[in-house]
Amino acid sequence: MKELSDTKLLQRAHSGDDQALRVLMKKYEKLIYHLCYRILSNHEDAQDQTQEVFLEALRSATGFRGEHRASFRAWLCRIACNKCHTLQRYRHRMQEMSLGASHETEVPPPDELMVLQQAIEQLPRDYRTIIILRYAGDLSYKEIAQVLDLSDSTVGTRLYRAHKLLRKTLTKEGDMK
């Protein structure tokens, strides 16, 4: 079963083959969870969205165009980004609708990784998504272009600008020299 292509496994899973679904999930679950966690910064939400990504992939299996259009990995990452961004938009709308709700947050310890994570979270969504896909998802420029439906050169430009903004933010905070 493992020697089948991702496209064939997806087709079999869509037809009800539980073993094919298990193979796909085992292969991609960590990647998708990690991407969801980097976008949502919450363990439970990332777990939920990881499951939602695989359910959506099964529902949308007939819409996957195969290796010639986009890799299965890039397609799953695109679904993950869309699911996470939809959840964030929903929560933002709900937060705006709730009047006077106060949310206290803990101040994390000021270590370098946390400072970097906070700087990434401050980036505009397009730049933040590209940084997460590149470094947390370990996707190539071509795969990122497929996920976000952009040209390779646009990915390179946005990645450059995201790095520049990160450098500026971290230098301003005195956390990076």
Q: Which pLDDT band holds residue 102 (cuts at 50, 70, 90)?
A: very low
Between residues 1 and 28, the one the model is more confident about: 28
Between residues 106 and 73, the one the model is more confident about: 73
Q: According to the model, what pLDDT value does residue 50 have?
A: 95
Mean pLDDT calculated for residue range 117-125: 87
Between residues 175 and 135, the one the model is more confident about: 135
Q: According to the model, what pLDDT value does residue 14 have?
A: 87
Vertex 143 angle, CA 134 and 88, to 5°: 60
Between residues 101 and 128, the one the model is more confident about: 128
Mean pLDDT calculated for residue range 109-116: 68
Q: According to the model, what pLDDT value does residue 62 have?
A: 81
pLDDT at residue 65 above 60?
yes
Q: What is the dihedral of CA 125, 164, 175, 139, to 10 degrees?
A: 60
Mean pLDDT calculated for residue range 125-134: 89
pLDDT at residue 165 above 50?
yes
CA gap 173, 167 in Å, rounded: 10
Number of H helices, E strands in the chain: 8, 0
Domains detected in the chain:
1-103 (1.10.1740.10), 108-177 (1.10.10.10)
Q: According to the model, what pLDDT value does residue 119 have?
A: 86
Q: According to the model, what pLDDT value does residue 92 have?
A: 73
Question: Contact, 39 vs 84, CB < 8 A?
Answer: yes
Q: Which pLDDT band holds residue 46 (cuts at 50, 70, 90)?
A: very high
Residue type (1 letter), 36:
C
